[in-house]
Structure 1
């Protein structure tokens, strides 16, 4: 690896560590570093949630921040490719077929002609797959093996930090720490918006825009955390219990399905439905099936962005 590349990567890694707990700045530092080493016309960081979804909460088309969103993991697209092969996807793998199979974000009239989509692993021996980081450009043949190695290096730095922060959060939970109520989150939003209003007259518009982007990214990170919890709870259930939980959303109508309706849909007795439902309620720490339904609806909301 060239000395200039190594220096840039080491400085970026130090900044990622320095911004521990601040995902927006960590992701922004990766984007800046890769932009100094190669042409980057589009960039994103995404995280896997459960077995079926990938969530994009830090993506840029040029300097334009693209709104966060999520997609199911579909065969033939880059998220599925990386999850299957557990290594970086490059445009040269298939001439961009998997990349272009996704739904584009940003300026849809422009087409990426080179790309790297790199997995983000945690630092465990199992190397659990956490998410993706990608750079793309409209110029063919822009990325070589040094570019791939550079992005993989920064992806490993991100993965180590994300895993560390998760361990700290889990230890806090075990010591009795609890999630803050929604009112506190709303309070943060109001305080931050008030600060932005005050800054508007004293700061340049680009700086104000960056603050707004930070808010969007951080709010999405909180939403992502809640969705991850739902996915983890679903994974503790048996296939039939999970089917029952998902039927709370899938069955038509605005009201929560009755025990009889669930029994007919699953072809089992009402007694069995009640037994399964009690387990589901405990898994979700829910008072009633309406709370379970609301949680799963939160997980299954998808928006169309390139995967």
Structure 2
């Protein structure tokens, strides 16, 4: 699609800000993306998320809601919400597609009120969806096709910057930065060293804060310190989260059915078989149990796995099978 002049200007400005940011300053990159989207549409909330599909872990190195930065964190995303939908489809989610049904199944942040419009776009790598950019508004009908296109472009830029700062990225950076020796261990140590230095500077600045007499000057200094805390937080979560390291993801992947009993696993195996769900009667006949017992087992399975419908089992089981080596057992 053809972008308007105002959108092109916003993206060009973001591109300049991103390229001027220091190599390890992911917070400035996230900030530039938010500013670009805010220049295009009425924006109330914006987030950057990194995820591991294997164990449904999602981390938020950057959360901005109603004019303030919010504490980042890590949680497990559900199998029936907007994150799972974007991961499965690899496509942007738009509020207008389902009147926000998927979006409102998720955990609320900010003021806790439901958004009136939203777009969530994937960061797509060779390994699938590894992250998301989310833009939410309290104003309906503002997340246009231009916003989707802009967010999609920004997601690719963010992913490139994350890869560039990832400790596990295999690049010949020694030719450009000989002091880095960018192996996974060296990159991790570098991230820890930078964070330690930043925290030391913060401690010194906090001590100096008490020496300021002018209230306005003290408030401005406190605001700068607050932002720097979020910068350190974002850098650590982005660089050390392991979200873009496929080998690390495979090593940590848990069995999604670990909490189930052998009989419950047998029921799940039949329901998620290659021919589809055969129904309660066929499952009962195959296992030599009653239909009522099948229903009891299924209710227990859904409760243990936090699912609402048995159809969601196929997605969960498939995510566990994807980790097997070709020809493995």
**In 1, Cα distance between the equivalents of 2:143 and 2:117?**
7
Deviations 1:95-140 (A, max 9, x none): 10111001101111x2201000111234xxx374221111111111
Matched residue of 2:31: which SS? helix
Higher relative contact order (CA 8 A, sep 6+): 1
1:26-79 CA distance string (max 9 Å, x none):
101111111111100111111113522110121111112111112212122121
Report the Cα offset of residue 223 of structure 1: 4.4
For the aligned residues, what is the CA RMSD? 3.2
- Using a 3 Å threshold, how does the CA distance of structure 1 residues 144 and 50 change in structure 2: closer, same or farther? closer
Task: Name the counterpart of 2:200.
Answer: 190
CA deviation vs aligned residue, 1:264-300 (integer Å, no higher than 9, x gap):
xxxxxxxxxxxxxxxxxxxxxxxxxxxxxxxxxxxxx
CA 114–160 in structure 1, closer or farther in 2 if over 3 Å, else same: same
Distance of 1:235 and 1:23 partners within structure 2: 25
Q: How does 1:86-105 map to 2 (within 5 A)?
A: 86-105=90-109
Shift in alpha-carbon separation, 1:143–1:219, aligned structure 2, 3 A: closer
Unaligned runs of 5+ in 2: 172-180, 260-329
1:219 aligns with 2:221: no
The residue number in structure 2 matching 1:18 is: 20
Q: Secondary structure at the match of 1:146?
A: helix
Hey, what does 1:63 align to over in structure 2? 67
TM-score normalised by length of structure 2? 0.63
Paired residues of 1:49 and 1:231 also in contact (CA < 8 A): no
**8 Å Cα contact 2:168/2:184 also seen in 1:** no
- Quote the Cα distance in structure 1 between the aligned partners of 2:81 and 2:238: 21
Bigger Rg over Cα? 2
Q: 1:206 to 1:61 in 2, by over 3 A?
A: farther
Contact 2:167 2:188 survives alignment (8 Å): no
Q: Could you tell me which residue of structure 2 aligns to residue 145 of structure 1?
A: 145
| Closer, same or farther: CA 185–16 of 1 in aligned 2, 3 Å | closer
The 3-state SS of whatever aligns with 1:148 is helix
The residue correspondences of 1:108-187 to structure 2 (distance < 5 A) are 108=112, 110-122=113-125, 126=126, 128-166=128-166, 170-171=170-171, 172-174=181-183, 177=186, 179-180=188-189, 185-187=195-197
Number of aligned residues: 239
Unmatched segments (≥5 aa) in structure 1: 251-307
